[in-house]
Amino acid sequence: MKRQVYLSMKPLKEAQNIFLSRFGSEQQTGVTGVKAEESDGRITAEPVFAKTSAPSYHASAMDGIAVKAEQTYGATERHPLTLALETDAVWVNTGQPLPRSFNAVIMIENVHMIDEGHVEIRSSAYPWQHVRKVGEDIVATQLLFPQNHRIRAYDIGALIGGGVFSVNVRKRPRVAIIPTGSELIRHDDIKEGEVPGEGRIVEYNARVLAGLVRECGCIPLVQDIVSDSQNEIQEVLRKSVDSEADVIIINAGSSAGSRDFTVHAIREMGEVLVHGVAMMPGKPTILGIVEGKPVIGNPGYAVSAALSFEQFVKPLLYALQGVSPPKTPTIEVQPTRDIPSKVGTEEFLRVNIGRVGDRHVATPLPRAAGSITTLTRAEGIIRIPALSEGISQGQKTMAELLVDEEELENTIVIIGSHDMTIDILGDEVRRNSGHVRISSGNVGSLGGLLAIRKETCHMAGSHLLDTETGEYNLSYIKRYIPNMDVTVFHLVLRDQGLILNKGNPKAVGGVQDLARKDVVFVNRQAGSGTRVLFDYKLKQAGILPDAVKGYDHEEFTHMAVAVDILSGAADCGMGIHAAAKALDLDFIPIEQEQYDLIVPTHLLDQPNVETTLNVMGSDNFRKRIALLGGYDPSRSGEWFAEVKSG
C-alpha cells in the first residue's frame, strides 16, 4: 500500500471552511414530535405559538378583598371607608378568579374587620391593583419560541402554560463511531484491573467520543472494533452510510502510515476533502463525504481524537441541528515558563491554571497526544497560532477554560519536584474543604524555587541536598530567592534509590554498578532534587557521568522513570520507593531525603493556603501517605524554618 503524505495539509480555518461549507441547511436533521415535559435540550424545528392565554382568567395576585376601584376613591387614614362584604367587597385568595364586576384587590394586611359583614379600608385602590389579568404572562397566538431554539427547563413551563403539550423538534443527529485497529480489545472483554496481553490496547476513544457526542445533544452509535483492513473498514463504512447515521467517525485510522486505510476507504467510496490539518495535536485528521454524509477520519491518539472532534465534528453536529455551538469562556493568563512551538502548525496546549496574586498563571502539561490525563487534569487550553514560535513567560495570552472560572479562585498552585504525595494532598484538601483544589506542575525542585521567585505559584515542592552541609533546601532558597521571605514546611521524608526490573536481572547492587556497559540508566532532568542527589552519589563513587550509559536520557517524574524500566527502555533509574512499589518493581534504597513545601510568608494568612497546610498535618493524610510505602509522614505539615530576605 502506498504511504500517504500530507502534500496538501490545510490550515485549521481553511480545513473547517472546506468541510463545513459542504453541509448547509438542507442537511439539517428531520423533524419529530416530543412531549413538552420531555423536550428539554431539544431544538425547535419550527416556530412555537401559544394556544391558550395564561392566566386564562383575571386572577387575584394577593390574599385580601376584591373591590371595585372606583368605590374606594377618597379613603384615607383620617377618612376611612366602610365596605359591605358580598356587595362592595369579596374575600379572595391568591390565584382565585376575580369575581365579575370587581377590578382590584386590597391586601389583607390593609383591611380592618369591623364586624362579620363589614370591613374598613384606609387607602384607595387603583384599577387592576394586585390583579393578574388575562394573558398577563402569555397571550394566545403569541410567539413563544422561534425555530432553532434550544428548549430549557424554564421553557417547558412556558410551553405547558401556553397550552402547548407537544412540540416539533429537530431529530437528534445520530453519529456512527467506528474504532479501528487490530491491536484493540474491548474493555468488556477483560476483567477490571486486568492487564491486557502484550501488544493489546484497551479501546476507550470510542467511549470518549460517544460522551462528546451526547454533550452535543446527539446520539452515539458505537460500532464493534474493526481490524486494520481496508475491505473491513469499507464494509462497516458502507453499513453506516446506509443506516440512520447522519455522521460517521472512523477512529484511529488516520495518519501518514502505510497501514492506515481510512483515507483509501473514503476515497474509494466518496470524496476526500482534506487529509492533514496544520494543528497539533490532530494533524492526521481526514475530512470526507460519502453519499452526502460527512465522514471524519479521527486520529487514534486520545488527545488528538478529542481535539479533532472539537474542531470539526462538534460545529457540524450543532449546524445539523440549526444552532451554533456554545461559546467557550476564555481568560487572560501568563505562562509560568517559556513555551516554544513549531512554526506552521496551530498548537492546542493543555495547561493548569490558578490565580496567584492579581493574575492567572498557566503551567503547561505534557504535550503527549496519547495522554488522556492531560485533558482530565487541564483547566484550560492555550492556542498558539501557526505563525508563532511560541509564548514567553512574560507574555499574556488567552486560554479557553475547561472549568468554571470560580474554581480558579480557589486553586492552590504547587510547582516544583514531582512527588506522589501531592496527589494525595490534593484529594484530601478537596475532601475536607469541598472547594479548594490543588493544581501541580512538575518542573523539578529548582524550577519550583524559581517559580516562587517569579510569583507564579503559591507553594514549591523541593528536596535539594546541599552536599557540603547535608542540609536540604535552605541554602538553595537563600541563593535563588534572596529578596523574599519564605516559610518552609515539612511534607515527608522519603526513600530515594535505584528502581530495577523485578528480580533485578542485571544484578545491580548499587551506584557502583552503573558504570557497567551492560546496564542502561534513565536519569531525572537537570535541576531536579533527584538529579542533584544522583550526581552527588556518582561523585562519591568516583564515577564520571560519561561512564553511565543513558545518563542523558531524562524523565520529568518518578513514575516516568519507573515506566521506562518496566517497558525495558532502561535497566535502572533513580527514583522514590513508592514509584517502584506502584509498578511492582525492585528497589535498592540509597538515601532518605527531606521533601519540603516552600511558601511565600505573605501568603500564609490566605484561607486556601491555611486549609492546605492544615490538611498536611492531619492524621488522615499521614495515614494515607504511610500506606504508599517508602515515606515517613510523621512530621507532615510541621513548620521547619523561615528564611528572611537579604
Contact 96, 60 (CB under 8 A): yes
Instruction: State the Cα–Cα distance between residues 364 and 453, nearest whole angstrom.
Output: 18
- Long-range own/partner contacts, residues 467-474 (CB < 8 A, 24 or more apart): 467/532, 467/536, 467/539, 472/593, 472/594, 472/596, 473/445, 473/594, 473/596, 473/598, 474/641, 474/643
Per residue, the 3-state secondary structure of 207-224, as one string, reads HHHHHHHHHCCCEEEECC
For residue 195, the SS3 value is coil
Residue 418 included in any domain: no
119 plus 259 within the same structural domain:
no
Mean pLDDT of the chain: 92
76 plus 207 within the same structural domain:
no
- Residue 260 is predicted with a pLDDT of 67
629 plus 584 within the same structural domain:
yes
Is pLDDT at 69 greater than 60 in this prediction? yes
Is pLDDT at 299 greater than 80 in this prediction? yes
Is pLDDT at 3 greater than 80 in this prediction? no
544 CB neighbour count, 10 Å cutoff = 10
- Residue 62: HSE in the Cβ half-sphere, 13 Å Cα cutoff: 16
Closest to 105 measured CA to CA, from 138, 143, 144, 72: 72
72 plus 105 within the same structural domain:
yes
Beta strand ranges found along 502-582 (DSSP E): 521-524, 554-555, 572-576
Strand order in the sheet with 104-107: 89-92, 64-67, 104-107
Burial class (CB in 10 A: 0-12, 13-18, 19+), 535: middle
User: How far apart, in Å, are the Cα atoms of 2 and each of 95, 253, 260, 264?
Assistant: 77, 15, 10, 10
Query: How confident is the model over 393-420, as a mean pLDDT?
Result: 90
Residue 296 included in any domain: yes
Instruction: State the Cα–Cα distance between residues 488 and 299, nearest whole angstrom.
Output: 46
619 plus 489 within the same structural domain:
yes
Which element (helix H / strand E) includes 580?
helix 577-582
Instruction: State the Cα–Cα distance between residues 161 and 155, nearest whole angstrom.
Output: 10
Contact 511, 538 (CB under 8 A): yes
435 plus 384 within the same structural domain:
no
Is pLDDT at 444 greater than 90 in this prediction? no
Is pLDDT at 6 greater than 70 in this prediction? no
124 plus 224 within the same structural domain:
no
Contact 452, 481 (CB under 8 A): yes
Q: Quickly list H helices, 464-555.
A: 474-480, 529-541
351 plus 368 within the same structural domain:
yes
Q: What is the CATH number of the domain that holds 271?
A: 3.40.980.10
Last residue of a domain, one of 292, 320, 348: 320
Residue 412 included in any domain: no
In degrees, to the nearest 5, what angle opens at C-alpha 290 toward C-alphas 289 and 295? 50
For residue 435, the SS3 value is coil
Contact 616, 489 (CB under 8 A): yes
106 plus 253 within the same structural domain:
no
- Residue 254 is predicted with a pLDDT of 54
Quickly state the pLDDT bin for 394 (edges 50, 70, 90). Answer: confident
Q: What is the CATH number of the domain that holds 526?
A: 3.40.190.290
Residue 421 included in any domain: no
Between β-strands 293-298 and 247-251, what pairing exists: parallel, antiparallel or unpaired?
Answer: parallel
Instruction: State the Cα–Cα distance between residues 456 and 458, nearest whole angstrom.
Output: 7
392 CB neighbour count, 10 Å cutoff = 13
376 CB neighbour count, 10 Å cutoff = 9
Is pLDDT at 2 greater than 70 in this prediction? no
Last residue of a domain, one of 384, 403, 422: 403
- Residue 5 is predicted with a pLDDT of 47
Q: What is the CATH number of the domain that holds 343?
A: 2.40.340.10
Closest to 417 measured CA to CA, from 525, 521, 497: 525
Q: What residue numbers bound the domain in which 116 lies?
A: 59-132
Last residue of a domain, one of 320, 347, 376: 320
Q: Quickly list H helices, 309-388.
A: 314-320, 373-376
Tell me, yes or no, if the pTM score tops 0.85: no
609 plus 573 within the same structural domain:
yes
Instruction: State the Cα–Cα distance between residues 507 and 513, nearest whole angstrom.
Output: 9
Instruction: State the Cα–Cα distance between residues 379 and 352, nearest whole angstrom.
Output: 5
Is pLDDT at 255 greater than 90 in this prediction? no
Closest to 332 measured CA to CA, from 350, 348, 355, 311: 355
For residue 590, the SS3 value is strand
Instruction: State the Cα–Cα distance between residues 508 and 503, nearest whole angstrom.
Output: 10
Number of domains in the chain: 5
Instruction: State the Cα–Cα distance between residues 444 and 533, nearest whole angstrom.
Output: 13
Between β-strands 486-500 and 586-600, what pairing exists: parallel, antiparallel or unpaired?
Answer: antiparallel
Percent pLDDT > 90 in the chain is: 80
Instruction: State the Cα–Cα distance between residues 459 and 487, nearest whole angstrom.
Output: 10
Instruction: State the Cα–Cα distance between residues 245 and 505, nearest whole angstrom.
Output: 54
Contact 237, 303 (CB under 8 A): no
Query: How confident is the model over 197-209, as a mean pLDDT?
Result: 90
Cell of 549: 550509559
Instruction: State the Cα–Cα distance between residues 622 and 636, nearest whole angstrom.
Output: 7
579 plus 447 within the same structural domain:
yes
546 plus 626 within the same structural domain:
yes
Residue 344 included in any domain: yes
